[in-house]
């Protein structure tokens, strides 16, 4: 690409997501070149920044902090209006005053993971060394890298020990990593709908998504922003494929069946005749508006690489040996992306390591996505677990 084209690219108004990437609508912790983030790939990332949101107040002892770890396409806007979509926070039903994760009792922190696109340094951030967006020059990151960056943020906030680390899916992987890497800093852990490793089937689905992105001619080898475009179609297809894995056949059937969309008879074309088709197309296109394609590549890769047992000589129990953390593992019956058997593997490892662990499988037909939805039994167990942990931690009783 010629320099003049680059200049032209710079003059063009930056897309909304790019502005969020460098100057997010949230709090930002900046880390200078003296405090690099040691990445598993061997690179020291510096300087870098972590975008985050907080809710509630940290108590005088610093004992009521709850870290929420977001999933693959989530972000730090867990309980406030999203700056890009204008929609409510992704866990607003669970997090807030009087909610199961009660912001009147707990100090809730949620950060955008490193590699993300909502303000933490990632492939859509500007590389300070070159003045250009990182793109594929950004180093490959892992789940432990994300957690290491979060730990630096938690240090910065003056929090020694988290009262709880909570997260679902990729967020659940981070919770497991937190509990394994910093057992003394996690009083209680709530890994939800997750696994200690990404399965071959899950890696396969991710690969389909990544290939869809990279096959889009607008992707331009990851430097699409310099062309003033985004790989809409590829990322949309990736999202459509992934979205199917988040649901269950039963949920799709209940929601859509084989109903036709705004018509009585099929058109005998490749229009979206079925309701389920237009639903997926909508999911694809709305996702493209708020998410960066390169971040999608990096974060799916981070999940693929995750294997907590392999990091501990093949024995998962070694990852949790001698831990004092209280665990509550939750899975959902219809989740086939992270099936209950994966959660049981975690529970068995924790048991073998003598950990204090509870486990519940929630019955629902809503698939993996259930962890983002208002499922009363799930909410009950989150509330119950945190309340009993709070009592043990010596936090004051509920105000209401």
Q: Which residues are the active-site residues?
A: 169, 335, 368
Instruction: By CB under 8 A, tell whether 58 contacts other proteins.
Output: no
- Distance of closest approach, residue 398 Cβ to other proteins, in angstroms: 13
Pairing, β 162-168 against β 65-69:
parallel
User: Closer CB to other proteins, residue 243 or residue 356?
Assistant: 356
| Residue indicated by tokens 């209280």 | 326
Structure tokens at 304: 């693929």
- Distance of closest approach, residue 219 Cβ to other proteins, in angstroms: 45
Structure tokens at 240: 């459509």
Nearest to 100 by CA among 166, 50, 43: 166
DSSP 275-343: HHHHHHHHHHHHHHHH--HHHHHHHHHHHHH-BTTGGGTT-GGGGGTT---EEEEEEETT-SSS-HHHH
Instruction: By CB under 8 A, tell whether 318 contacts other proteins.
Output: no
Structure tokens at 269: 């074309």
Instruction: By CB under 8 A, tell whether 392 contacts other proteins.
Output: yes
Find the part of the chain contacting other proteins (CB under 8 A) among 18-26, 150-158, 250-258, 385-393.
Answer: 385-393
Find the part of the chain contacting other proteins (CB under 8 A) among 92-100, 210-218, 293-301, 392-400.
Answer: 392-400
- Residue 69 pairs in a beta bridge with 167
Q: How far is CA 42 from CA 39, 149, 181, 228, 351, in A?
A: 6, 15, 18, 32, 34
> What contacts 335, CB < 8 A, 6 or more positions away?
193, 248, 367, 368, 370
- Distance of closest approach, residue 347 Cβ to other proteins, in angstroms: 6
User: Closer CB to other proteins, residue 93 or residue 358?
Assistant: 358
Structure tokens at 221: 């080898």
Instruction: By CB under 8 A, tell whether 61 contacts other proteins.
Output: yes
Instruction: By CB under 8 A, tell whether 351 contacts other proteins.
Output: yes
Binding mask 174-213 for other proteins (x = CB under 8 A): ----------x--x--------------------------
**120-147 burial: b if 16+ Cβ within 10 Å, else e:** bbbbbbeeeeeeebbbeebbbbbbbbbb
Q: What is the C-alpha separation between 239 and 73, in angstroms, rounded? A: 10
Q: What is the C-alpha separation between 281 and 261, in angstroms, rounded? A: 12
Instruction: By CB under 8 A, tell whether 99 contacts other proteins.
Output: no
| Crossing angle between the packed helical segments 293-305 and 232-246, to the nearest 10 degrees | 40
Instruction: By CB under 8 A, tell whether 36 contacts other proteins.
Output: no
User: Closer CB to other proteins, residue 237 or residue 349?
Assistant: 349
Instruction: By CB under 8 A, tell whether 57 contacts other proteins.
Output: no
Contacting other proteins (CB under 8 A), which of 98, 271, 391, 396? Answer: 391
Find the part of the chain contacting other proteins (CB under 8 A) among 95-103, 129-137, 208-216, 356-364.
Answer: 356-364
Binding mask 320-349 for other proteins (x = CB under 8 A): ----x-x-x---------------x--xx-
User: Closer CB to other proteins, residue 296 or residue 385?
Assistant: 385
Instruction: By CB under 8 A, tell whether 377 contacts other proteins.
Output: yes
Instruction: By CB under 8 A, tell whether 137 contacts other proteins.
Output: no
Structure tokens at 368: 């993996």
Residues lying near other proteins in the complex (CB under 8 A): 61-63, 160-161, 184, 187, 324, 326, 328, 344, 347-348, 351-352, 354, 356-363, 377, 380-381, 384-385, 387-389, 391-394
């Amino acid at each position: 690409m010629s320099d003049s084209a680059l200049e032209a690219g710079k003059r063009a108004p930056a897309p909304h997501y790019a502005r969020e990437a460098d100057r997010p609508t949230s709090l930002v912790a900046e880390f200078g070149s003296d405090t690099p983030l040691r990445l598993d790939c061997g690179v020291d990332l510096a300087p870098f920044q972590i975008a985050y949101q907080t809710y509630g107040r940290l108590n005088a002892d610093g004992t009521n902090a709850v870290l929420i770890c977001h999933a693959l396409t989530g972000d730090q806007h867990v309980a406030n209006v999203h700056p890009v979509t204008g929609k409510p926070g992704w866990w607003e039903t669970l997090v807030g005053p009087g909610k199961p994760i009660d912001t009147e009792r707990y100090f809730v922190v949620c950060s955008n993971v490193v590699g993300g696109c909502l303000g933490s340094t990632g492939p859509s951030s500007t590389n300070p060394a070159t003045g250009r967006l990182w793109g594929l020059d950004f180093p490959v990151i892992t789940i432990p890298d994300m957690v290491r960056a979060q730990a630096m943020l938690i240090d910065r906030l003056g929090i020694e020990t988290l009262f709880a680390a909570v997260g679902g899916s990729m967020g659940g992987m981070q919770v497991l990593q937190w509990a394994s890497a910093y057992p003394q800093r996690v009083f209680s852990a709530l890994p939800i709908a997750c696994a200690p490793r990404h399965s071959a089937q899950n890696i396969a689905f991710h690969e389909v998504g990544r290939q869809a992105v990279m096959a889009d001619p607008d992707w331009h080898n990851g430097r699409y922003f310099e062309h003033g475009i985004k790989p809409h179609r590829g990322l949309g297809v990736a999202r459509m494929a992934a979205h199917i894995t988040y649901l269950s056949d039963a949920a799709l059937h209940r929601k859509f069946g084989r109903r036709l969309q705004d018509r009585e008879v099929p058109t005998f074309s490749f229009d979206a005749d079925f309701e389920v088709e237009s639903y997926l197309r909508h999911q694809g296109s709305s996702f493209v508006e708020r998410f960066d394609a390169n971040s999608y590549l990096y974060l799916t890769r981070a999940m693929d690489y995750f294997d907590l047992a392999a990091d501990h000589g093949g024995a998962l129990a070694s990852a949790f040996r001698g831990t004092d953390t209280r665990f509550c593992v939750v899975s959902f019956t219809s989740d086939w992306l992270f099936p209950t058997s994966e959660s049981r593997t975690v529970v068995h490892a924790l048991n073998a390591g003598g950990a204090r662990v509870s486990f519940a499988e929630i019955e629902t037909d809503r698939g993996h996505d259930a962890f983002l939805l208002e499922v009363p039994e799930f909410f009950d167990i989150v509330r119950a677990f945190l309340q009993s942990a709070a009592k043990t931690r010596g936090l004051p009783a509920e105000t209401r």
